[in-house]
Amino acid sequence: MANTRSDLGPGGVSPPSTSSAAPFPTMELDRAKIGRSTSAVGRKRGLMRILALLLALAIFGGCTTVLKVTEAPTPEIPNKPVDVWLLPIEGFPPEYARELEKTFSAELGLKVRATVHTGRTAKMYGPSGQMIAERVRDDLEIPIKRLYNLTPKTIFIALTRDDLNGEDGGTRFVFASHFPPERLSVISTARLNDASYGKPDTPENTRLRLYKMVKKAIGLQYYGYWRSTDLKSVMYSPIMSLDDLDAVGTSF
């Protein structure tokens, strides 16, 4: 009642009442002043509400801007089918697998993915110490079935740096073996590098030769292309030496 003290008598206390019906002092309030005071309080409260609203807009508006800047990129659809799975067997250079993944994804427009290193077991090898393609096929059956986003058209390319041969041992070695029923190819880099022939190693040549062998496997297994006798085609067969491989083209 601070705003009403201006209407009290001297000393701030009302004179004693002469009426016996009012034992306590009485105070008469100035209604006009109360109205003006109430109006001022109302205006002050309204101003405070406006300021609070402007502050809230500034704060939340700033938060919205920050959220837009830090918004995470849209994640890749997890169930998109994989067209080509690359399976680097333990010991195979992982950078080669990543390079092949990026190259063929961009060049062919396929979804190509490389696994981490696939296990290498003693069962994969023959008496000569060479890796046997048919045994690799059999040993990879379970790991392949456990891969995700497979379709009836998904193909699998196992990559090894070990010397490779077939079960029958009809040749000294093979660069690759292909198994259409399993949609699987096994490719070895053991004979793709110049160092295997007593020459200075040339990694760029090894990469190009590997590129050709993997592209040929994709042509055979994914696209169903036939082998060719055209030396300009990457589908050329038979490849009996590095000279043959270096001579073939890079297009289907």
Instruction: Kindly state the helix (H) or strand (E) to which residue 42 belongs, with its residue range.
Output: helix 31-69
Instruction: Tell me, yes or no, whether 180 lies in a domain.
Output: yes
**Is 108 in a helix, a strand, or coil?**
helix
pLDDT at 199 over 90: no
28: which 2 tokens?
């008469």
Instruction: Tell me, yes or no, whether 119 lies in a domain.
Output: yes
pLDDT at 116 over 60: yes
For 139, the domain range is: 84-247
Centroid of chain to Cα 149? 15
Q: Residue 174: which CATH number?
A: 3.40.390.10
CB 86 within 8 A of CB 155: no
| β 184-188/176-179 pair status | antiparallel
Instruction: Tell me, yes or no, whether 4 lies in a domain.
Output: no
Alpha carbons 70 and 161: distance in angstroms, whole number: 43
Give the global pTM: 0.69
pLDDT of residue 60: 52
Among 105, 86, 106, CA closest to 159: 86
pLDDT at 221 over 80: yes
